[in-house]
Structure 1
Amino acid sequence: MPRSRDSGAPITSPAAAEVFTMVLTRGPVSRVDVCRLTGLSSAAVTKAARPLIEAGYLRELAPTERTAPGAGRPASPLAIAPEREYFVGIKITGDDLIGVVTDLGSRIVAAKHHAVPGFDVRTDASASPMEPADVVAAIAALVTELLDEHPGFRKRAHRLGVAISGDVDRVTGIVRYSPFLGWRDVPLAVLLDEATGLTTTLENDVKALAVAEQWFGAGVGASSFALVTIGTGIGSAFVVNGGLVSGAFGVSGEIGHVPIGVEGPRCHCGASGCLEALASTQALLTEARRATGVDDLTIDRAVTLARSGDEVLRKVFAAAGRAIGLGLAVVANLLGPESLVVSGEGLDAYDLFEESIREAFSAQAYGSAARCGLVIRPLPFEEWARGAAAVAVQSLVTYSS
């Protein structure tokens, strides 16, 4: 069952949620434009906005000039009050915690990294799992550090968003499966509610990043776009008809587990030939070590040698790039998005991938699907944590009857 949520903003109807979301993502915006974009009547918009203004979440800006002679009184655009509430976002990586505090408009106002002893990148699901209690304690400590950065944070921060790789049930707050932590069915949100005193929203990390893009980034106003991330894992998230695709069972966008090479290496999920088993950072490093015979080769060293002209390693990167290009073509062919944003820490070596990615994508994308623009945008890990905070903002705005 869904967990209870604190009162927060006065979202007392679907109309209030719709108006608040519109101003939050597109404001400042006039009431006339809110009516036009939402289809609500002027009276409905005024009724929905009034309690949000009284509670300090929205404010009216100074009137603007009339748009035309005789057009009536000047418009007073609605805008959010960014400092009305703060949100904590935590991204859990394979060896680190990244935390941020954002304002209501998703602007990062504080950020901290917190190394956790014992964390390591888990590519083998049979590895000893991290103890949930240790991770919860580390997150709670990081939240405390962040909230102590400014007196206003502790007073006006009530929500925590946490982004984690794997199969996550956002409604119940349960991590159903996270290969990098070795977890199955961990009730992380409830544990964090108790440890931090904040209302926790848990989400898959790639979906959280997509929420940030949809509400506050490149996806604002787009009816459809796709986000693909490349790095320790390979994931994707889709926005279709303005909504994030969650999947009937909470699983969607797992492009990393689409079979690209049927006879390819075995993946940690148990299948063979998955894109993630061919082109993730660890998969690429494993192949680089096999191809060179250097067992202690690091990914940074492999990148340096490939950039210096090592043909063996350049072929390894090119092969991974072709696999990625095929995976991107799958997304374009199935969804036909307006744009396809590619991000993740794996893009640090994008110059070694680019040609083979684009060649494979162009060759495999069907017809007009190839017109989908590839937007290559490396993002620091703070942006992943911002995505977690954006999910917390979203949970504030969501109407719950």
Structure 2
Amino acid sequence: MTPRRQSRRAPVTSPAAATVFTTVLTQGPVSRVDVARRTGLSSAAVTKAARPLIEAGYLAELDSEQGGVGRPASPLEIRAEREFFLGIKITDRELVGVVTDLRAQVLLTRFHPLSSCKLDAVVDGVAAMVTELLAESKSYKQRTHCLGVTIAGDVDRESGHVRYSPFLHWRDVPLADLLAEKVDLEITVDNDVKAITVAERWFGNGIGADSFALVTLGTGIGCGLVVNGRVVTGSHGVAGEIGHIPVFGDGPLCHCGATGCVEAIASTDAIVDQARTTTGERDLTIDEVITGARMGDEALRRVFARAGVAIGRGLAAMANLVGPERIIVSGEGLDAYDLFAAEIRETFGTQAFGAAAHCELILRPLPFEEWARGAAAIAVQTLFLSATTPGAVWGQPSPTRR
């Protein structure tokens, strides 16, 4: 095996340093006084934690500004290009890769078709994409040390194992180990929706929310949860699986083995299957189903209406159990949102208990490169995990390290 480089980690050696860094990362520029006020740390603790990060070039002090009575403040800001990160999202058809800076701002995007879902082909494809992305800039090659890889399904982030991926038909695949044989970067493998939730928590609609849920509609239906400021992973690495909440007792069989799951009724593939059965047209595509429904085909409209009821019931069940401040609904399935929006909102309002019905629903598009950005976000997360209390700040287990 090719020797692996030592990761040049930022000097985050304590929970206080991790807290200061994440506060500046997600809320900066911000003064030390404000960092102390927002985190509960003392001013001396903030200064002590920030100093090595400034010396290492991860934080910068901006010009002093007088904020009223007292000494002028020198806000702290992230030096976004101090480190670069790679994120790659694996689908059953293609690889989507990005290079980002410390703020997970996408600097470069690449799409590579996959000729096969076989493990060797995917691993070779990821390695080739890493090489291509790093070759785009000398700075990328010199200042990139971490790679995030995401995939739909049940992933054990700590070991880097893909326990089950329904779309790739993988079971018990040691993906991180296999990639480490070909890629000279520190690798973290995680579920794709959990990764997007991390990105949303730091850089998106999750900023400022102590609890929220991110629900993705598309080929699969996923959900990431943040509770008390932490991404919920579940004791077995499974949490927030809204797609596998049973909502119709007489519903179709789901690939998970249960019946009547949200995903078996409202995923893209499920909608197409129901439309084909309803119309007898075996070659219908999702675009044709959407077009037909918008043109007034009542049979197709009923398919979308049923999907909306299933999604609304799933959202309500999650709101009743968790009580998030807001629910962000995203994914490629939003292309058809107008066809089931009324059913989602009506069902959610009816099924959500009491004040849970007032939970804010936010709709936002999800360009496909955003999935890869989520993978890059977990690479950023990996670099700055506290060495003394893994997971204390990020709400995630430690990554696989080699």
TM-score by length of 2: 0.94
Alpha-carbon deviations, 1:6-27, whole Å to 9, x = none?
2411111111111111111111
Aligned residues of 2:91 and 2:151 also touching (Cα < 8 A): yes
Q: Following TM superposition, by how much is the alpha carbon of 1:352 offset from its aligned partner in structure 2, in angstroms?
A: 0.8
Matched, 1:177 2:175: no
- Using the alignment, how far apart are the partners of 2:49 and 2:342 within structure 1? 51
- Using the alignment, how far apart are the partners of 1:156 and 1:5 within structure 2? 12
Partner of 1:223: 210
For structure 1, the 5+ residue unaligned runs are: 119-129
Matched, 1:115 2:147: no
Picking from 73, 76, 79, the partner of 1:75 is 73
Partner of 2:323: 336
Picking from 189, 199, 217, the partner of 1:202 is 189
Total equivalences in the alignment: 385
- Using the alignment, how far apart are the partners of 2:179 and 2:101 within structure 1? 21
Partner of 2:56: 55
Partner of 1:97: 95
Give the counterpart letter for 2:75 in structure 1. Answer: P
Q: Secondary structure at the match of 1:399?
A: coil
Matched, 1:294 2:294: no
**Greater CA deviation, 24-33 or 40-49?**
40-49
Percent of aligned pairs with the same residue?
63
For structure 2, the 5+ residue unaligned runs are: 389-402
Alpha-carbon deviations, 1:350-383, whole Å to 9, x = none?
1111111111111111111010011011211111
Q: Following TM superposition, by how much is the alpha carbon of 1:221 offset from its aligned partner in structure 2, in angstroms?
A: 2.0
Matched, 1:21 2:61: no
- Using the alignment, how far apart are the partners of 1:303 and 1:42 within structure 2? 57
- Using the alignment, how far apart are the partners of 1:107 and 1:370 within structure 2? 34
Note closer, same or farther for the CA distance 1:166–1:263 as it changes in structure 2 (3 Å cut).
same
Picking from 279, 284, 297, the partner of 2:266 is 279
**Greater CA deviation, 322-331 or 287-296?**
322-331
Aligned residues of 2:92 and 2:114 also touching (Cα < 8 A): no
- Using the alignment, how far apart are the partners of 1:307 and 1:117 within structure 2? 34
Matched, 1:266 2:218: no
Partner of 2:309: 322
Name segments (4+ residues, structure 1) moved above 6 Å.
none
Note closer, same or farther for the CA distance 1:148–1:4 as it changes in structure 2 (3 Å cut).
closer
- Using the alignment, how far apart are the partners of 1:10 and 1:192 within structure 2? 27
Q: Following TM superposition, by how much is the alpha carbon of 1:117 offset from its aligned partner in structure 2, in angstroms?
A: 0.9
Give the counterpart letter for 2:155 in structure 1. Answer: V
Partner of 1:127: none
Matched, 1:250 2:251: no
Q: Secondary structure at the match of 1:195?
A: coil
**Greater CA deviation, 39-48 or 74-83?**
39-48
Q: Secondary structure at the match of 1:40?
A: coil
Q: Secondary structure at the match of 2:324?
A: coil
Q: Following TM superposition, by how much is the alpha carbon of 1:220 offset from its aligned partner in structure 2, in angstroms?
A: 1.3
Aligned residues of 2:211 and 2:326 also touching (Cα < 8 A): yes
Partner of 1:351: 338
- Using the alignment, how far apart are the partners of 2:314 and 2:295 within structure 1? 28
Partner of 2:142: 155
- Using the alignment, how far apart are the partners of 2:334 and 2:313 within structure 1? 16
- Using the alignment, how far apart are the partners of 1:153 and 1:343 within structure 2? 30
What value does the CA root-mean-square deviation take over the aligned residues? 1.4
Partner of 2:300: 313
Alpha-carbon deviations, 1:145-195, whole Å to 9, x = none?
111122211111110011110111111111111111111111111222221
Partner of 1:121: none
Alpha-carbon deviations, 1:88-139, whole Å to 9, x = none?
0111122111111000111100001110112xxxxxxxxxxx3222111001
- Using the alignment, how far apart are the partners of 2:180 and 2:22 within structure 1? 25
Give the counterpart letter for 1:148 in structure 2. Answer: A
